[in-house]
Structure 1
Amino acid sequence: MGVNTTPIKSNVIIIGLCIIVFYYYGSASRPKNDDVIVGSEVISGREITLKELMGNAKNGDAKSQNDLGLLYERGWHVDKDYTKSFYWYAKSAEQGFKMAQYNLGIAYTYGKGVDVNFDKAVEWYKKAAKQGVIKAQINLGNLYISGHGVPVDYKEAMRYFMVAADQKDTLAIYNIAKMHSDGLGVKKDISEAVSWYQRAVDLGSMSAKNSLALLYAQGAGNLPQDRAKAVSLIRSSACQGYPVAQNNLGLLYAEGGKEVPKNTIQAYAWFSVSLFNGVEGAKKSIDSITGQLTSQELSEANKLASKYKIKYAFPINEDDAYKSKTECRYP
């Protein structure tokens, strides 16, 4: 399911390769038709008509109930309705369907169709995590760091992240790197953090590329300062759809320098796709750069931004390694 997984993220804002770090926690409606085929790109493993799916869900099929909940949550083939998505997730989760248990945890975390309730979120995440749902394991780790629904417990957070990391999950590996970088439950060790970030980057992690770029720009830990490599990492991350890297790339184009020549049209386009993908701070950057553009340049920048919003959209399934083996390959 492509809903927020509340990973610990290190958002890197680059200004002339001077970098500020802060934290943040990473559908179009389709025509409704009972006979429409709900394809495998929407619900994994099968193709089925919406009418059949609804019938199966009403007859108690747990997978169909979860899939129907997903359609209502996303507004795919039906009107978006969080109340109905929660209803069907709950029906499925009560039968022990692991992804529905995770989805119910998400609903309680973000108040989708129900009031926010972290105690309930933890309860359902634990059930899903016990059945091996990696995203549930990561979310539990994050809640043990934030203290929502459970007492703050860095060791327990690390335990959940390690379980997921053993399955080569890039966000779990990224979170372990952040814990070493910040000294959460472990001795602060930048060199150890670099090792974990690099492991995630090797698996294609867009979030780890952005954070590793920070360390290369600074020459932190055991890394030599390498601004060219930092820019290369940011470009790859931005290409994959990572909103913070896209904003960073816009800043590099806006300021200009040896590694990235100044280009206000490119800056505008990257700020625009970053805002489109969820970085609200990019709006100020857009306003600032707009004043540097002629009317003709602004028209060109908007056309480019429209293309980028399609080409560099944040992946709907929130795959942290999206396109890492194709056009966004690094190095």
Structure 2
Amino acid sequence: MTRDVKEIFAGERGGPSGAGGTPPAPAALAAKVRTLGPSMTRSMQRVAEAVAGDPAGCAALTVTGLAELTGTSEATVVRTARLLGYPGYRDLRLALAGLAAHQQSGRAPAITTDIAVDDPIADVVAKLAYDEQQTLADTAAGLDTVQLGAAVTALTTARRTDVYGVGASGLVAQDLTQKLLRIGLIAHAHSDPHLAVTNAVQLRAGDVAVAVTHSGSTGDVIEPLRVAFERGATTVAITGRPNGPVTQYADHVLTTSTARESELRPAAMSSRTGQLLVVDCLFVGVAQRTYEKAAPALSASYEALAHRHRS
């Protein structure tokens, strides 16, 4: 029996998946498709697009039927199911049925259209607000809380934290750094690739390095993370591509939603929303763990700012 055929039979039985963890809830399925779709092969994308576009119809199909519908193989269907977090195709069918029920009840919103050049400003506000809400919901649904908890633990006990990001991700890196500084932790944000690498060389075990890159392939961010990883620091990647190059040097991967990109809303805008949610989750988690020190530090920073405004 070939490996592909073994995968098909295991998938139909719902046997061992290799994916690990608990399968995502039906409501999270669409978010997983949007997040993982860009990193899939074209044949797997056809399967993912089919199940996201017609969950009710696909839920009624066997693995063979879905393969025929999408012009792929049964093995591709099973691989797609597993990449989406389901032990086998049977589990994916159950999730599709649940998602279809959500949509029929009106609890699953329809996908909004892109912003047009001639859209009234009120429509622009409504569409952006919907997209921002969807990005936050998708990021929350796909965020691995085990990985998040491990990253929080590392930041809490770190001697020093370096955060790398360029462009819009650089702004997110600065946001995380400023938050950590306000609760008394030592943190530095680096957007200059040369400074990032020269600082990464100084890291060691007990330090933390965080890379923020939506694409997961930004060389100016990957290189200092690689150096930090090789120096023994704990490394964290905040990325929209869970299989991107940056993850090979990350001890912990925190995935953000791959928001829809349009001509008037580039990825730099849409990705930032999910990244900031992850940053806020990290910060609150660290503040909870260090509350006795964090609370007085926050109060002191508030008082310092208030005094400056009164002066």
- With the shorter chain as reference, the TM-score category is 0.3 to 0.5
Higher-helix-fraction structure = 2
**Given the two structures, how large is their TM-score scaled by the length of structure 1?**
0.31
Name which structure has the greater RCO, CA cutoff 8 Å, separation 6+. Answer: 2
